[in-house]
Structure 1
Amino acid sequence: MTQLHQLRYFLPPRSKKVTCPACDQPKRFKLYHDATTGHPVGDAYGRCDRQDHCGYDLRPQSDKPPERSANAFRDLPPAPPKPLAILPEEVVAASLAHHRANNLARMLGRIIGYGQANELLLGMEVGTSSHWPGATVFFQRDEYGRPRSGQVVHFDSQSGKTIKDLAPNGEKRRRTTWLHKTTKKAFKRKGEPFPQWLKDYEEAEQVSGWLFGLRYVLAAAKTVPVGIVEAPKTALLCNAFLPTYRWAATCGLGNLTETRLRPLLDRKIELFPDASENGSALAHWQNKAEQLRRKGFQVTVNERLETLATPEQLCAGYDLADVILDNHRGYPPSWDNDTL
């Protein structure tokens, strides 16, 4: 690259990183900018910061700006397939052994009895994290039974609600993160080297694309209908109080996708979206259900929560967990035959 090119085309030190077109890793690719315009040269011209694993670095080579095309890298050899991000089974097992220290587990025990709670927490693979005192881990397995990720959420031990922090911009943010991230921070804090599994996990495909509770659902007969809700805590309570279905959670309104539901293609599915002030949650899942039916899914949407909720409940995002807790009148003695 000539001195002219060095002056004209450059990588801004604080520019936003985007998905690399070669290795497909998000927030790793920085675009070359044209000093004469102040704008990126083209979607394909940039450098991936994973130089040891990707090495993609396409630079402008002439005074004439190249065409803005995301296909400029089409002649490059395809990137090698990325290994799958899989958590070690021993990590999952260790997390499942500490329900006594788990805020959500203690709350669940008071609601449904400690024997029933322990059985359900183990069956749905709900673990404990020390990242926040008493934090919960919702493990997600794929359709082959491999543990792919663990969502960490911090609940209040009395109310069972997610604890929120006030961000610098004044917004309230839920205390939630991922197990591999909390593990990395813990080793950094102790000044210890990362275990090999964590190094491998960080370099692997980390997309979270599975239902919480999928393994629990697949263990039931195919004739048992599947109930889908947004929150893992709701799926837990529904499996305890509404056993006509096997329940799973998308872990978010926008996570209802064909990929996540693909393992349930041969089962009857009923969606239970949270109530919303303007009906947007119901409308969103109704639209998704229509798309899924065109793909061959047997899926319907339950609208009762939206139609029966009060204006205050709609505003608060009322869900089936709220219905269960508001109408809770105790549990059978047989549910309390053990401790956490």
Structure 2
Amino acid sequence: MKEKEASCIDPNLVASSLGHYQQNKLFQFLSSQLGEDEATKLMMKYKVGSAKHWDGATVFWQMDVAGRVRTGKVMLYDSETGKRVKYPYNHITWVHSLLKQENFNLKQCFFGEHLLASQSNMPVAIVESEKTALISSFYMPQFQWIAAGGKHGCFNDENLQILKGRKIILFPDLGAWEDWQVKANKMKSLNIEVEIFDFLEKRATPEQRKEGYDIADFLLEAKQPTAILQDMIKRNPALKILMEEFSLMLENSSKNRVNPRKKTGFRL
């Protein structure tokens, strides 16, 4: 029996959520850190929109390599801290649930997966959260950053097929290294070339562990991605070979950073 194909979201709905940046709380945070122009570029590149389910909410569209929108994850962030709003309840839901589509066959894909179709010569960096992928992409464009959507997301055999033939680097959050080592071993069993870095585990302070830092938190705090990348290479020389193979420069991508401007946002 043929397996049922994944259901998709109307691309017109995606398009309607982009380009209106007056209210989005995540956009406001990114603008304060990276500048409004750069935040806009990231949101458009990654197909990040706004939802009116909660005031200022963000929708992370999951678009696969064929350009099909599998679903969208709706989340609410604090515009000052950039942290998810979890009180008085965890503000997270799904577009396909909000639309109440009958017989919707959900098959998630990596956030940012659509970018792999046109960037086949870049090594792929995988992180847990969508926000981390956005920020890391700004500071370290030497990699194509995608997000698994959580510690255990998007690591089944079907999802991993798109990574074959690519150079993959895993960047687990603090406390998730052992779990992601298991995932790395699984990927290797599927003949996927993968490296996993314990940079955060080696360098984190007790306070950073308490706060649950990820690579984006380090980048925002240090504002020295070159130093971080060089430290990673020192710990794993294979990364340098990977970088040289694609003639990628070890330079601070923030040299063209713009100064933060007036905050804006957008709505669906």
Task: Please state which band the TM-score falls in when normalised by the shorter chain.
Answer: 0.7 to 0.9
The residue identity in structure 1 corresponding to 2:79 is S
Structure 1 vs Structure 2 CA RMSD: 2.3
Q: Quick check: which has more Rg, 1 or 2?
A: 1
SS of the equivalent of 1:312 reads helix
Higher relative contact order (CA 8 A, sep 6+): 2
Paired residues for 1:92-111 under 5 Å: 92-111=14-33
Paired residues for 1:186-265 under 5 Å: 198=101, 202-208=102-108, 210-220=109-119, 222-255=120-153, 256-265=155-164
Could you tell me how far apart the structure 1 residues matched to 2:70 and 2:152 are? 19
Could you tell me how far apart the structure 2 residues matched to 1:128 and 1:238 are? 21
Q: CA deviation at 1:120?
A: 1.2
Could you tell me how far apart the structure 2 residues matched to 1:333 and 1:295 are? 39
The 1:319–1:333 alpha-carbon spacing in structure 2 relative to 1, beyond 3 Å, is closer
**From 297, 304, 314, the counterpart of 2:192:** 297
Task: Give unmatched runs, 5+ long, in structure 1.
Answer: 1-77, 167-172, 185-197
2:167 — aligned with what?
A: 268
Could you tell me how far apart the structure 2 residues matched to 1:267 and 1:337 are? 37
Q: CA deviation at 1:268?
A: 0.2
Q: TM-score, normalised by structure 2?
A: 0.80
Q: CA deviation at 1:257?
A: 3.0
Q: CA deviation at 1:271?
A: 0.1
Task: Give unmatched runs, 5+ long, in structure 2.
Answer: 225-253
**1:125 aligns to 2:20 (yes or no):** no
2:97 — aligned with what?
A: 181
Q: CA deviation at 1:99?
A: 2.3
Could you tell me how far apart the structure 2 residues matched to 1:331 and 1:100 are? 27
Could you tell me how far apart the structure 1 residues matched to 2:125 and 2:143 are? 6
Could you tell me how far apart the structure 2 residues matched to 1:333 and 1:308 are? 26
Could you tell me how far apart the structure 2 residues matched to 1:335 and 1:218 are? 32
SS of the equivalent of 2:111 reads coil
How far does the alpha carbon of each residue in 1:106-138 deviate from its partner, in whole angstroms, 9 at most, with x for none? 111121111111111111000000001000000
How far does the alpha carbon of each residue in 1:286-335 deviate from its partner, in whole angstroms, 9 at most, with x for none? 11111210111011101111111112322332101211221248874658
Q: 8 Å contact 2:32–2:260 — kept in the other structure?
A: no
The residue identity in structure 1 corresponding to 2:156 is T
2:218 — aligned with what?
A: 323
The 1:285–1:129 alpha-carbon spacing in structure 2 relative to 1, beyond 3 Å, is same
The residue identity in structure 1 corresponding to 2:163 is L
**1:142 aligns to 2:74 (yes or no):** no
The residue identity in structure 1 corresponding to 2:128 is E
Q: Which is richer in helix? A: 2
1:34 — aligned with what?
A: none
SS of the equivalent of 1:174 reads coil
% same residue: 35
Report how many aligned residue pairs link the two structures: 234
Could you tell me how far apart the structure 2 residues matched to 1:182 and 1:97 are? 21
SS of the equivalent of 1:139 reads strand
Q: TM-score, normalised by structure 1?
A: 0.64
The residue identity in structure 2 corresponding to 1:248 is I
Could you tell me how far apart the structure 2 residues matched to 1:83 and 1:253 are? 25
